[in-house]
Structure 1
Amino acid sequence: MKAPVSEQRSLLDLQAADTRLSQLGHQAKTLPELKRLAELTNDIGTVSHRLASVRGELEDAELEISRVESDVQIVTTRMERDRTRLQTSTSTKDISGLEHEIASLLKRRSDLEDIELAVMERIEEINGRLAVVTEEMGALTAEQDALRTSRDASLLTLDSERKGVQLNRDLIAGAIGDELLALYDRQRARYGIGAALLTRGVSMGSNVKLHESDLAKIRLAAPDDVVLDPDSSCILVRTEESGL
């Protein structure tokens, strides 16, 4: 294949643009924020589960104390009713029964009040744990929000540069013949690099000094002949620096 020397040399600028586009794509996928955000997603999930568990404990305890308070109110109401009846009763048997029931109710209320106190203490302990977990969740979500903001800013910067490089790349590619451009794109897709400078006998595509036999063949090639690197298979671009 033959191609104008100027177009072959433009391949170096095209390769530089493609290399930078690859670097920008890699940077966008490997931002330091992304790793920590992935960790935070797991951490927040774990803490969220703990938070739901503690809230469930609190709800159960609050339901329990509500039931105990209701039972205390029932016992108290019954005691007041029995005391009223006791004041008006004239039957010895009824009085004895009422006094026995009031004593039992007093014992029942005392037991319920002890249970109520224990549940209130448990609620206080649960609220303490809930405050700790809630604070932990708040710290994690605040860090997550900050990292997302930082990530978005970094991506915006990278995308802005990418658009500029892509525009420049398109302009360079537009000035290169279709056949040469197709060969460049094909070699780059296959081997990772489409074109490289030959400098002082060293291919910058493979960073290896070419054998004398290969250099001899290249010396015999016309300036507009398209030459491939025998090692990396990219297009070798020859300039005054090539040492031929």
Structure 2
Amino acid sequence: MATAPVADQRRLLDVQDADLRAQQLRHKRDTLPQLAQLEELAARLADLHEERIARTAEVGDLKRAVTKAEDDVQSVRAREERDQQRLNSGAGSAKDLQALQGELEVLAKRRSDLEDVELEAMERLEAAEATLASATEQTEALETQVAEVTADRDAAVREIDEQLVAIHDERGTAARDLDAALLALYDKLREQHGGVGAASLVGGACQGCHMTLNAGDLAAILNAPADQIVRCEECGRILVRGA
């Protein structure tokens, strides 16, 4: 049967305690609430980015539409001014002047229709610009929030890493000169059992799996030589007696 000094077996619990605390801290670091916040903020920023691209393109199209509508209105107005000047001059036959009057009426209707188109385009442009401005404002606010949450996350990570360094030192001290075979078995079992490779025996129960040993197994463990490495019959972890 494998053996290890009693002091080493008991000191193994200090190693286990350090390893468990380090494992818990690493889990805490990997599941910081800021990480979920940043993931959510990144998704919202991505949506806003798409929105801004779409609205920017829409604003560009509407600006061109407004410019065209303004040019069309201006072209008709220029034609009206020329015809009105000719009509006011009285030059030409009565038939020509009557035709000019008819054309002015047509141009007035055409200009009115074009001004309606221009107004509609301007209203749509105003709405699109407002939507773009809102998306930009939301983006800036979210980017500020991202910076704040990132700073909080970094501070939390630094604090955890500092604690991990201290625990690493504790573990090194506890494991120094520990029986090599005992430590190797512990590391193997710890990997197999969710980070817990050794546990104390308290009141006939393994503190690793929290199962109460049957009377026969318990008697065999308690009667085994003090330096014998014993293991829980339920979970297989190293059991440390008298800890």
Query: TM-score range with shorter-chain normalisation?
Result: 0.7 to 0.9
Q: Could you say what secondary structure the match of 2:239 adopts? A: strand
More displaced 10-residue stretch of structure 1: 230-239 or 90-99: 90-99
Give the C-alpha shift of residue 85 in structure 1: 5.2
CA distances 1:123-154 after superposition (whole Å, capped 9, x unpaired): 33333333444443344333332222211211
1:213 is aligned, of 193, 202, 216, to: 216
Residue 131 (structure 2) aligned to one of 126, 129, 132: 129
Q: Can you list the C-alpha shifts for 1:136-189, whole angstroms capped at 9, x where unaligned? A: 334433333222221121111111211221232233323212211111111111
- SS of residue paired to 1:231: coil
Alignment of 1:179-218 (within 5 A): 179-192=181-194, 193-218=196-221
**Residues in 2 aligned to 1:134 and 1:218: alpha-carbon distance in whole angstroms:** 70
Q: 1:110 aligns with which of 99, 112, 121?
A: 112
Give the % identical residues: 39
- Select the residue among 177, 180, 183 that pairs with 2:179: 177
Q: How many residues end up aligned between the 2 structures?
A: 240
How far has the Cα of 1:225 moved from its partner? 1.2
User: Is the aligned partner of 1:79 residue 2:91?
Assistant: no
Q: Aligned equivalents of 1:76 and 1:34: distance in 2? A: 62
Give how far 1:62 is off.
1.6
Q: Map 1:219-230 onto structure 2 (within 5 A).
A: 219-230=222-233
2:11 corresponds to 1:17:
no
Moved more, 108-117 or 122-131: 122-131
1:69-89 deviation line (CA, Å, top 9, x unaligned):
111222233334444555484
Match of 2:44 in 1: 43
Distance 1:208 1:201 in 2: 9
Letter in 1 for 2:129: N
Deviations 1:66-117 (A, max 9, x none): 1111112222333344445554844555544444433333322222222222
Q: What residue number does 1:29 align with?
A: 30
1:196-215 superposed Cα distances (whole Å, 9 cap, x missing partner): 11223222112223222122
- Please, which of 134, 140, 147 is the counterpart of residue 145 of structure 1? 147
Whether the aligned pair in 1 keeps the contact of 2:15 and 2:171 (CA below 8 Å) is: yes
User: Matches of 1:219 and 1:97 in 2, distance apart?
Assistant: 123
Distance 1:45 1:219 in 2: 63
Letter in 2 for 1:53: A
- What is the TM-score of this pair, normalised by structure 1? 0.85
* Equivalent-residue separation in structure 1 for 2:105 and 2:203 (angstroms): 110
AA aligned to 1:16 is D
AA partner of residue 186 (structure 1): K
Unpaired runs of 5+ residues, structure 2, are: none
The letter for the 2-side match of 1:156 is R
Q: Does structure 1 retain, via aligned residues, the 8 Å contact 2:52–2:135?
A: yes
Q: Deviations over 1:42-66 (max 9, x none)?
A: 2333333333333333222221111
**Alpha-carbon distance, 1:119 to partner:** 2.1
TM value normalised by structure 2: 0.86
Q: Which residue of 2 aligns with 1:52?
A: 53
